Amino acid sequence: MGAGTVGSWIADLLCKHRHSVTVVDADPAHIKRINEELDVRALTGQAGHASVLFQADVLSADLCLAVTGDDEVNLVAASMAKGMGARRCIARVFAPVFRDLSTFDYQRHFHIDRILSLEHLSALELARNIRHAEAITMEGLARGVIEVQEMIVTETTRAVQRSLKDLRLPHGVRIASICRKDRLWIAGAQDQVVLNDRITIVGNREHVDEVRDMFRSEPGPRKRVVIAGGGETGYHLARMLRSDRFSVMLMEISRQRCEVLANNLPHVTVVQADATRRALLEEERAGSADVFV
């Protein structure tokens, strides 16, 4: 439901994997374009109208995605589709309030399987690559709360050749496996990590870095990160980089938005500036940053 940029891209991806796809959008021009470009069933209508959902045959759908540009429409449409019998329903939202469980659980209230923010997911992926640029492989689990990282031990530290039970790992973090030469096994309390081992670390993303640092002779240098734009993606990214390992500057053109960002991100230097102007970028030394986003 929704044939904008996101909906069209998803429909195209699913078509390439030979799924049967139905697209619903209120704009006839979007539907005309979809019909011309993709091998899908396209319907013109409001995603929140029961008659349109019945026509789209959501009753037998394995997956229903509500990705229109209206948060409220997405929530209602996904909820209705779930009530009609769709197997799995996902709603895309922009406003952070719909994902804030401290005020109200919209997902549970509307009986939706998942509420997603593309801006938050984008920030999560960016933060993961910034925080662990040197990681061999990296995956996120439990909506990004849990991270799985793989690294090669290349330095001799106090953590090397000691039993894992004696390392005093942070709570919620474990060394899951050890690969030595051609042998791979699940790590146990008595196992030791030696030089050139490939280890897999699993745990809370806030503490995974602490375990990585145990296998380094010196902690990595503090990275300077400059983020251009204080929208939802920029805000979430700055929030995720809350660590002594990063010095974060956030550039935003709107004074009112800067005040909001400064109040919510005390660890970030918020600067009111137009990031498209070269003189301002040079003034803030953006060119000397380790990472510019």
> Given this chain, do its domains 133-214 and 223-292 carry the same CATH topology?
no
Q: What is the pLDDT of residue 194?
A: 82
Binning pLDDT at 50, 70 and 90, where does residue 122 land?
A: confident
> Domain map of the chain by residue range?
5-116, 133-214, 223-292
Contacts (Cβ under 8 Å, ≥6 apart) of 225: 130, 241, 246, 247, 248, 249, 289, 290, 291, 292, 293
Q: Which residue has the higher pLDDT, 31 or 204?
A: 31
- pLDDT reading at 142 higher than 70: no
- pLDDT reading at 250 higher than 80: yes
Fold of 223-292: Rossmann fold (3.40.50)
* Residue 256 vs residues 203, 227, 228, 230, 270: alpha-carbon distances, Å: 37, 17, 16, 11, 12
Q: Which residue has the higher pLDDT, 256 or 137?
A: 256
CATH of domain 133-214: 3.30.70.1450
CATH of domain 5-116: 3.40.50.720
User: What pTM does this model have?
Assistant: 0.67
Contacts (Cβ under 8 Å, ≥6 apart) of 74: 1, 2, 47, 66, 67, 68, 91, 92, 93
Q: Which residue has the higher pLDDT, 173 or 245?
A: 173
The mean pLDDT of 53-81, rounded to a whole number, is 92
